[in-house]
Amino acid sequence: MIEFDNVSKRYPDGHEALSQVSFALDAGEMAFLTGHSGAGKSTLLKLIMLMERPSGGQLLVNGKSLSRLHKSQIPYYRRRVGVVFQNHQLLFDRSVFDNVALPMQVSGAERRDIERRVRAALDKVGLLSKEKLNPVQLSGGEQQRIGIARAVVHTPRILLADEPTGNLDPELSAEIMTLFEDFRNVGVSVLVATHDIALILAMDERVLTLNQGRLSEAARLAQA
Amino acid sequence: MRKPNSTLAAQPVRRSGAVESRSGWRSRLRAYVHSHRQNARESFQRMVDEPLQSVMTMLVVAIALALPAMLYVGVSSLQQLSGSWDSSAQMTLFLNKGAKDKAIKSLIARLESNTELAEIHYISPGQALDALQDSAGFGEALTLLDENPLPPVLLVVPIGEIEADVPRVEQLVKTLAMEPLVDDVQLDMKWLQRMQQILDIGRQITVLLGGALSLGVLLVVGNTIRLAIESRREEILVVKLVGGTNGFVRRPFLYTGLWYGVCGGLIAWLGVVLGQLWLGTTVTRLAALYQSDFALKSLGLDGMLVLIAFGGILGLVGAGLAVGRHIAQLEP
């Protein structure tokens, strides 16, 4: 589903965030992306989101090179990717429901469809009773879960998460991870950037480690 | 948190992905129309939520539209006035005051044989005085006069062919002025031509002013929209990240511009109508003094629709210019 082939990213200021990264993530596969801060985790996710373009190498998604994607096609591409942002990126001028509905609204879904799926997504993250509230009224952990509901509401084929458990207690973190696994189990490619080692240890998944822009894949930590 | 049993994770992933491929064009259209309605409503709500800012923008639009509209009303009212004389090159022949009836009669006979004249009306000093007494409130003053100060007058109208032919009309004026009994010839057309020219200038000023102020509206709406885009920067970035097209992001701002224009047009119409009511009575009274049923042309329903449509178009274009430049640049 996602294939990095010798991908490098050098920013205009000369800093090389990623150098010659290669890995592949299949449909229905889940992986953790780890590494110290500044190791290039966010850059890697941004490349998949087309927020940044690689300065070298090939990035293929669903067999197609992203560099061939025309600018006008980017929105349609992004609709097949769900992202959980580190800082939630919620909109505080509208209700929880409307925040989660956003990815469906932009793709021109029908209201009935939107309502059904938004409620299903909120139900999954346990916030169905709070759909009418403003995200401001919710705790950090709850806001994070709204972000997750928004990332999955349109059943994306790729799910990216940048420190999705940053604000959550261990119990809630584990539940979120179970949720991600559910998606993995129905064929979604899930890539979770985190430096929550305890969490990684608790899950038996692939671990990709970035170190100063270089990627290495350890044997599964849980097995080691 | 519940265990997965809902529609989300439970359904198999479709090979073709995304929601949109599933729904037919009919439901897409329905969703599209709904989205437009929602955008229009939300944009309006946003304006209501910031009344001061919105009203100021609308007033600027309204003033910019009302000024040329008022000028237009004025010019076309005068046009209407001159229109009633439009085709006539009527001349007024003032005769010597002491002219004898007999001499006048023979003059009329002579003029009647002139092939260039179509109509001849004689107004005796007595008739003129009566008319004057009846009108314009001079009655009282006129009784104080010892004798009738008015000269006998002949109104003559040239035949249709030469009416529009200024040199021939002027030649005719010269011929008529040579008649010994004729004291003075006044050509009403001259007056009319002058008025036509003034009206032409008025029309040009209306167009010029309208153009300049329209440009002003574009800039004002454009700037307001630009500020709105700036203040909703975060939102735009998020919308783009979840797959919102530039068109989707633009839409609410275009509606905002449209609303500014439409509301501005409506206010402009109200302003012009109120101005007419206020000026109208004065103008009518003044016109009555001059024996005219002249009244300001009213800016009716047509005018309202034109102002609203024009305002709407200006608002839309102004917003379009702003979003075209700024939204494509905003990339996450």
Cβ separation A155–B19 shorter than 8 A: yes
The structural domain count of chain B equals 2
> Are B67 and B96 part of one and the same domain?
no
Does the pLDDT of residue B2 top 50, yes or no? no
pLDDT, tens digit, 9 for 90 and up, residues B121-148: 888 888 888 777 766 566 667 777 777 7
* B270 within domain boundaries: yes
Task: Please indicate whether residue A159 or residue B166 has the higher confidence score (pLDDT).
Answer: A159
Does the pLDDT of residue B20 top 50, yes or no? no
> Are B310 and B212 part of one and the same domain?
yes
Cβ separation B243–A75 shorter than 8 A: yes
Cβ separation B13–A157 shorter than 8 A: yes
Cβ separation B34–A110 shorter than 8 A: yes
- The ipTM, to two decimals, is 0.88
Position A179 confidence tier, pLDDT thresholds 50, 70, 90: confident
> Are B109 and B133 part of one and the same domain?
yes
Position B309 confidence tier, pLDDT thresholds 50, 70, 90: very high
* B285 within domain boundaries: yes
With tokens 């996710």, the residue in question is A45
* B19 within domain boundaries: no
> Are B240 and B112 part of one and the same domain?
no
Domain boundary among B129, B158, B187: B187
Cβ separation A49–B239 shorter than 8 A: no
The 3 state secondary structure assigned to chain A is CEEEEEEEEECCCCCEEEEEEEEEECCCCEEEEECCCCCCHHHHHHHHCCCCCCCEEEEEECCEEHHHCCHHHHHHHHCCEEEECCCCCCCCCCCHHHHHHHHHHHCCCCHHHHHHHHHHHHHHCCCHHHCCCCHHHCCHHHHHHHHHHHHHCCCCCEEEEECCCCCCCHHHHHHHHHHHHHHHHCCCEEEEECCCHHHHHHCCCEEEEEECCEEEECCCCCCC
Domain boundary among B187, B207, B225: B187
> Are B227 and B131 part of one and the same domain?
no
Position A219 confidence tier, pLDDT thresholds 50, 70, 90: low
Domain boundary among B151, B166, B187: B187
> Are B218 and B293 part of one and the same domain?
yes
CATH code of the domain covering residue B139: 3.30.70.3040
> Are B167 and B308 part of one and the same domain?
no
pLDDT, tens digit, 9 for 90 and up, residues B178-225: 888 888 888 776 677 777 788 889 889 999 999 999 999 999 999 999
Contact map slice: A 37-96 vs B, CB within 8 A: 49, 51, 72, 75-80, 83, 85, 89-91, 93
> Are B75 and B104 part of one and the same domain?
no
> Are B64 and B138 part of one and the same domain?
no
A10 vs chain B: nearest CA distance in angstroms? Answer: 18
> Are B100 and B66 part of one and the same domain?
no
Instruction: Say yes or no: A150 contacts chain B, CB-CB below 8 A.
Output: yes
> Are B216 and B313 part of one and the same domain?
yes
Mean pLDDT of chain A: 88
pLDDT, tens digit, 9 for 90 and up, residues A44-101: 999 999 998 999 889 999 888 888 888 889 999 999 999 998 888 899 989 999 999 9
Task: Please indicate whether residue A188 or residue A201 has the higher confidence score (pLDDT).
Answer: A188
Which DSSP letter does residue B158 get?
A: E
> Are B177 and B115 part of one and the same domain?
yes
The residue-averaged pLDDT of B67-89 equals: 74
Quote the pTM value: 0.73
Domain that holds residue B99: 91-187
B273 vs chain A: nearest CA distance in angstroms? Answer: 39
